Amino acid sequence: MQNPNSNRKLWVLQGESAQLFEQLRPILEQNVGDWVTVTYQPDYLPSPLIANALKPHQTKQLLGQQYRHAIFDATAGFNLDAFAMLVGTLVKGSVLILLLPKDLTFWHDQDSLRWNESQNPITVPNFVAHLTETLAEFGVSINSTSLPKNVISAIPSLLVMTDAAWNLAEQQATLKQLLNSNKSINVLVAKRGRGKSALAGRFSHYQRCIVTAPNKSALTSFFVFAKPTTPFFAPDELIAQSNIDCADYLIIDEAAMIPLPMLEKLLQLAIANNCRVLLTTTVDGYEGTGQGFLLKLLSGKTCQYFHLHTPIRWQADDMLEQFSDRLLLNGLLTQDNSPVTSPLSTQYSKVERNDVDTLRSIFYLLKIAHYQTTLIDLRRLFDAQNLSVWQATTDNKQIAAALTITEGNLSDNLITQVWQGTRRPKGNLVAQSLVAHAGERLAAKLRSVRINRIAVMSAYRRQHIAKQLVQTICDHAKVQNNDFVSVSFAYSPSNYQFWTACGFVLVHVSSHKQASSGCYSVMALKPLTKSGCHLTLNLKQKLQRNAYWLKDIINLPFNQILANNDNSLLKQDLDAPDLDELVGFAHFHRPFEASYPSLCRLVHYNQINLQSQLQQPQPLSLPVLSALLKSKNNQSLIINAYQLAGKGALMQTIKLEVKTWLIKHSNNMIFDKSTHNDS
């Protein structure tokens, strides 16, 4: 029989932050506990009663810790990530006091600065509706004037979590199964508070293990139960060592928080060293849904999965966990595997933003389809400005969804600053990137719509539903007088084929792989007006021309993804747009990677020019830039060869070479007048 005092409780108070903390003073004075406090406003805290106070962005420090009693001050802003982390640390018998602003209707949530494309906080009516509905669902009342009279007596007596709490039948059985596994990769999956790290720690007593995790502070629970001599290595440190012959098992704790490319390297390292792997991961929470980790990283690999269901840190059927799950929309949408019989029965529509129930189901749908759909995505879905939500339904059942964001129509002055690299305001991801990296100012001047996310339930895929949903979005964008629709996606052959089938044209490729996916990010446009067609054609031709040089530093099949890509050296003459780019690099802050093709053409032009003018006694040869490009952008090699202080010094040296070249040749070259005057 469960002790009723061991249940975790949630109290909700409403008012001004300073006044609420003053009201809480007698609670803190009379009740023993940690009273960990998360707040935007630490100045209001009744010190020294609250010694452990954190701002929302600092709550990762709580990972792997256990606390008794806490306060979550959301009067200024509600950071769902911080809330999830705090709830996960509270042991049996704890009370969480949630502080809400006095007036939720006109509450300007500071957390919106993280996910809304605006410089100022905004009201969040849809999240407020979701929050208040969730509180009502669990029968939690909001006390807006004073604390309930029975608050102090309601705090349960102190419960101590001991090592004995670990010895549950499920834990013991899972450990035995894990020790008997003959698979090279073993995956331990569970929600928070189920003792994953504790079990992994116990496992280290039976095998020679080393452990890695996003940070060592997250391993507190692991080391409580682990063999004391178990070595810890940071993931990048372990990869750099390239050998792990000191262990039979590599334990990767909190694996879903580590970027996929790094996890891939860790698995490859283990396989190369005949070392088996134990991964522990959470499929719900602040680090993302973990679905990408389970579906993408381990797809095609031989693994054995283990699951823990019984909570250790709190009681089964814990009310606070259930409330948190509902508020954070943890869990997954139950998928119907009986697909539609005919695409004609599918309806495509724009979702009203105050339809909170539909927004909730769309979030579940996005979690299935995307790696690391996070709680920021949930807040953005509820209330972000400039965001539109789309759905496909059949028989009143939601089977697909998409999110779009309006972009463009920026001022000439702001566009110039973005091009120069001196400004990068929030929002306009594709529009700004095409200015900052592709050098095309018109992209931010025109009006556009960016497709941010799109997802289709698995049973309904390959029926052209996503393609029709995209077409619905494009038709609406055209009616709204937008010039083009854009998309940015992680390159893969299947992704590329889908977007080109939808009528999109590849116009830009990033120079670095994404940390989360390990893929290059690419951008594509679908023009809707004459201006949009002009922009798309210019960017397409520029990419085709630049691909001759980009192929040396970007590992993509350019010949396959760029149709009619005749980019021979005959078309690589230095022209006015190149000089425009070189001025931006030398005199402003345009990135080296964005200027790379123009810098290549500069060196090529300079070499040809010098060969035809051998009579010059001291030719200007751009030595450092030439050496860097000849090395295929091996920056470390050139830094060492020229004894430079680092990458910053290398870039400054190259900038000076280009600037000197431009000054020396300014009378003989044709510049883009507007840019030249700016410099």
- Is the backbone of residue 212 left (phi > 0), alpha (psi -120 to 50) or beta? beta
Is residue 548 located within the same domain as residue 626?
no
What pLDDT does 168 receive? 75
| Strand intervals (E) in 346-445 | 346-350, 387-394, 397-408
**Domain contains 272:** yes
- Asked if residue 362 belongs to a domain, the reply is no
654 and 631 Cβ atoms separated by less than 8 Å:
no
pLDDT of residue 1: 41
CA dist., res. 588 & res. 373, Å (int): 36
d(CA 14, CA 99): 6
The C-alpha angle 127, 102, 388, rounded to 5 degrees, equals 20
pLDDT attached to residue 162 = 42
User: Does the residue 407 lie in any domain?
Assistant: yes
Reported residue count of the chain is 679
Question: In this structure, is residue 316 part of a structural domain?
Answer: no
pLDDT tens for 35-54 read 999 999 888 787 677 878 99
pLDDT at 336: 57
The string of pLDDT tens digits covering residues 654-677 is: 999 999 999 987 766 544 444 444
d(CA 296, CA 309): 24
* Regions of the chain where pLDDT drops below 50: 1, 158-166, 288-289, 569, 617-618, 670-679
Return the CATH number at 299.
3.40.50.300
On whether both 115 and 18 belong to a single domain, the answer is: yes
- The CATH number linked to 608 is 1.20.120.890
Q: Which residues contact 341 (CB under 8 A, 6 or more apart)?
A: none
Whether 315 maps to a domain, the answer reads no
How would you classify the pairing of strands 387-394 and 397-408?
antiparallel
Tokens of 491: 């390159």
Picking from 89, 57, 78, 88, the residue whose alpha carbon sits closest to that of residue 132 is 78
How do 276-281 and 185-190 pair as beta strands? parallel
Query: Rounded to two decimals, what is the model's pTM?
Result: 0.88
Q: 116 and 67 in one domain?
A: yes
Q: Is residue 366 part of a domain?
A: no
| Final residue before a domain boundary, out of 501, 527, 561 | 561
Same domain, 577 and 600: yes
Domain boundary among 137, 154, 171: 154
Instruction: Give the integer Cα–Cα distance in Å for 330 and 283.
Output: 9
Domain match, 641 and 540 both = no
Residue 372 counted as domain residue: no
Query: Is the same domain home to 396 and 542?
Result: yes
Edge-first strand order for the sheet with 95-100 is 53-54, 36-38, 70-73, 95-100, 9-14, 142-143
Q: Which two tokens stand for residue 123?
A: 């009201």
Q: Where a domain ends, among 154, 189, 220? A: 154
Same domain, 519 and 538: yes
Distance CA 546, CA 558 (A): 10
Are 142 and 406 in contact by the 8 Å Cβ rule? The answer is: no
Structural contact between residues 505 and 438, judged by C-beta atoms closer than 8 angstroms: no
pLDDT at 679: 36
Same domain, 556 and 407: yes
Q: What is the pLDDT of residue 452?
A: 95
Nearest to 605 by CA among 586, 637, 582: 582
Contact 437, 414 (CB under 8 A): no
- State whether 142 and 241 are in the same domain: no
Question: Residue 552: inside a domain, yes or no?
Answer: yes
Other Cβ atoms within 10 Å of 660 Cβ, number: 13
Same domain, 584 and 517: no
Does residue 16 sit in the same domain as residue 136? yes
Confirm if 381 and 403 have CB atoms less than 8 A apart.
Answer: yes
- According to the model, what pLDDT value does residue 321 have? 94
Per-residue confidence (pLDDT) for residue 137, from 0 to 100: 96
What letter does residue 68 receive in the DSSP assignment? S
Number of domains, the chain: 4
Which residues constitute the domain of residue 100? 4-154
Dihedral over alpha carbons 318, 321, 324, 329 (to 10 degrees): -110
- Which residues have CB under 8 Å from 237's CB, separation 6+? none
One domain, residues 294 and 396? no
Domain CATH code at residue 467: 3.40.630.30
248 Cβ contact partners less than 8 Å away, ≥ 6 residues apart: 207, 208, 209, 275, 276
